[in-house]
Amino acid sequence: MSSNPIPASNYRKLIIAVSIIIPIAVAALFGIKIEGVDLSCLPPFYATLNGITAVLLILALAFIKKGQMKLHQRTIQACLAISLLFLLCYVAYHMTSDTTLYGDMNHDGKVDSNIGSIKYIYYLLLASHILLSIAVIPLVLFTYLFALEGNYAKHKRYTRFAFPIWLYVAVTGVIVYWMISPFYVH
């Protein structure tokens, strides 16, 4: 344990609360539409944030493997901050924009019949991205807490799950954006 007395039970309760509140709040905010605000610039921006997170996660892994703990810690903190910025942009976009339907070539609310089976790949990626983005919240936050507490054995155990899931969510965020971007109304 580190010499910093951290009231761990308070942090654990906060992590559990945040892990429940964020998905519920995001889902609820999808029902709110703010008219007259154009945030159509946000999807490529938050896809870029996902890409930056993926690169930084790989860098963080390289830093810790080289024993560069401070660089690892700062890189993970940057990933957390970028992920929070992503979440804010994602919610802002979806509160001000209509949902984009994959395969709706002429924006009439119907999937073009020429899209074919690629839509199943898109929806599989999207579903796994969404479900794992919910699961990764407590994983990442508990993993980070264990490091703060100096419980590196538990931190390392959780990292075996948190890292690949967080990386998957970041990478599939870019892929999902790339796949849906031709169908955005510009």
Per-residue confidence (pLDDT) for residue 137, from 0 to 100: 97
Asked if pLDDT for residue 18 goes beyond 90, the answer is yes
Per-residue confidence (pLDDT) for residue 114, from 0 to 100: 82
The arithmetic mean of pLDDT across residues 26-45, rounded, is: 90
pLDDT tens digits for 108-164?
Answer: 878 887 888 889 999 999 999 999 999 999 999 999 999 999 999 999 999 999 999
Asked if pLDDT for residue 3 goes beyond 60, the answer is no
pLDDT tens digits for 43-76?
Answer: 999 999 999 999 999 999 999 999 999 999 999 9
- Distance, in Å, from the CA atom of 167 to the CA atom of 66, rounded to the nearest integer, reads 20
- Tell which wins on pLDDT, 184 or 186: 184
For the chain, domain boundaries: 34-183
pLDDT tens digits for 82-102?
Answer: 999 999 999 999 899 888 888
Per-residue confidence (pLDDT) for residue 1, from 0 to 100: 43
Per-residue confidence (pLDDT) for residue 25, from 0 to 100: 92
Over the Cα atoms of the chain, what is R_g?
Answer: 19
Rounded to 10 deg, the angle between the 42-65 and 152-180 helix axes is 150
Would you put residue 56 in left (φ > 0), alpha (ψ -120 to 50) or beta? alpha
- Tell which wins on pLDDT, 14 or 1: 14
- Distance, in Å, from the CA atom of 145 to the CA atom of 148, rounded to the nearest integer, reads 5
